[in-house]
Amino acid sequence: MRIWGAAALILFLASCSGAIVPPPIERGAPSRAPASGGLPPARQPTPATPIVPMPSGGGAGGGAGSAALAGLVAGPAIASLPVSDAQAARALDAFRTSCPSLVRRADASGLTTGADWQPACDAANAVSDRDARAFFSRWFEADQVGDGRAYATGYFIPEVRASRQRSHGYEVPIYGRPADLVDVDLGQFVDSLNGKKIRGRVSGDTLVPYYDRSEIEAGAIANSAPVIAWGADPAAVVFLQVQGSGELRLRDGSIMRVGYADQNGRDYTGIGKLMLDRGLIGHGEASMQGIVAWLRAHPDQGREIMQENQSFVFFRPLDGPAVGALGLPVAGGASIAVDPKFVPMGAPVFLSMDRTDATGIWIAQDTGGAIKGANRFDTFWGAGDNAAAIAGGMSAHGTAFVLLPKGTLARLPAGG
């Protein structure tokens, strides 16, 4: 699964993402965010006018169990969509990466089968990047799920100052997976609970909820979980958990990459919303950068607020490229987290948003704890100052169309 991170005010308000692995810096990538924990200012977006959603007899689709139940309507011709050659080429490259999983994976959305994707995947391997826009027009149709009204946040790979040994100034544990954490697949016991999981620990002969954040920070897992490293800044470590992966800048200057290993099973609470509701920050300060700055300026009060989010993420060291929920590499500016009940994992998605940087073709390669519903997305931006500036302020509204193999809509039952 993907990380918990998201972005902007939603990053701490209610966002999420699954567990990604930090990717290597791409050619031309900007420098990383300062290891001191400083973040570049949130980037001011260039406004754009989204495409108007297609008329739909259904609702938003969030209450339906899948895209097939939420309802699908035909969208505009793909050739008419505003996609740059460069963005289409990035999406094509990410789509190629997804194909091995896409053609063999069961589609939880109920829209496609693996075989439906095989012709497009075969073609993707034969087409050049300069023909990417034509490729998407040739092999796909744009379909709207539910009312199509989309909301997108963003996530990236943060850098956190840390040490392998505990010492003065480095006293915040970054835990690995505890030995007593138990994952239970409820579908193995009751068919109607297929796909549902819980986490807990065994106390005597009973499975009980796992320790929450406040209990963990009080030392409840000190003897059951390894400490991968010690962070210098409590706010930065909590933010690392929100994002779900990151890079630890060690005292000798080296980098340790860490990614999501597991989570304590407790519900995620977006602390940004708590801070807004209590008047601790204003809407103009509700970006990732503004929230982190407030937490650092008010460490005692900030600690109490952070503990109201009972969710706690555990990490593992990494040495490979970034991977998302498919277990495949993700790419900044091309990968997106989705709810797999509404978007086939590996499928292209076109977002037409009220800001230009979020508009374009994205590939569904990740999931997230707060990414729920037919038209909720989390865009991935990679590592570095540029990624932090975009993701930290990403809060985009508009319209979404899932790009499905041609003929998909015609095959579905009427109204499905």
Put residue 28 in one of left, alpha, beta given phi > 0 → left and psi -120 to 50 → alpha.
left
Residue 11's CB is within 10 A of a number of other CB atoms, namely 35
- Which of 375, 409, 398, 349 minimizes the C-alpha distance to 73? 409
DSSP 413: P
Strands 172-175 and 227-231: antiparallel
**Dihedral sign for Cα atoms in the order 346, 351, 355, 356:** positive
d(CA 18, CA 350): 21
> Tens of pLDDT along the chain (416 residues)?
444 333 333 334 443 333 333 332 222 223 333 333 456 777 888 999 999 999 986 555 556 778 888 889 999 999 999 999 999 999 999 999 999 999 999 999 999 999 999 999 999 999 999 999 999 999 999 999 999 999 999 988 888 999 999 999 999 999 999 999 999 999 899 988 887 889 999 999 999 999 999 999 999 999 999 999 999 999 889 888 888 888 999 999 999 999 889 999 999 888 888 999 999 998 877 777 788 889 889 999 999 999 999 999 999 998 876 678 888 888 999 999 999 999 999 999 999 999 999 999 999 999 987 799 999 999 999 988 888 889 888 999 999 999 999 999 998 875 45
Q: Which of 329, 368, 363, 360 is nearest to 82 (CA)?
A: 360
Cα(18)–Cα(371) distance, integer angstroms: 9
Write the burial class of residue 207 (CB in 10 Å: 0-12 exposed, 13-18 middle, 19+ buried). middle
Distances (CA, A) of 29 to 2, 33, 289: 23, 12, 21
Contact 231, 170 (CB under 8 A): yes
pTM of the model: 0.79
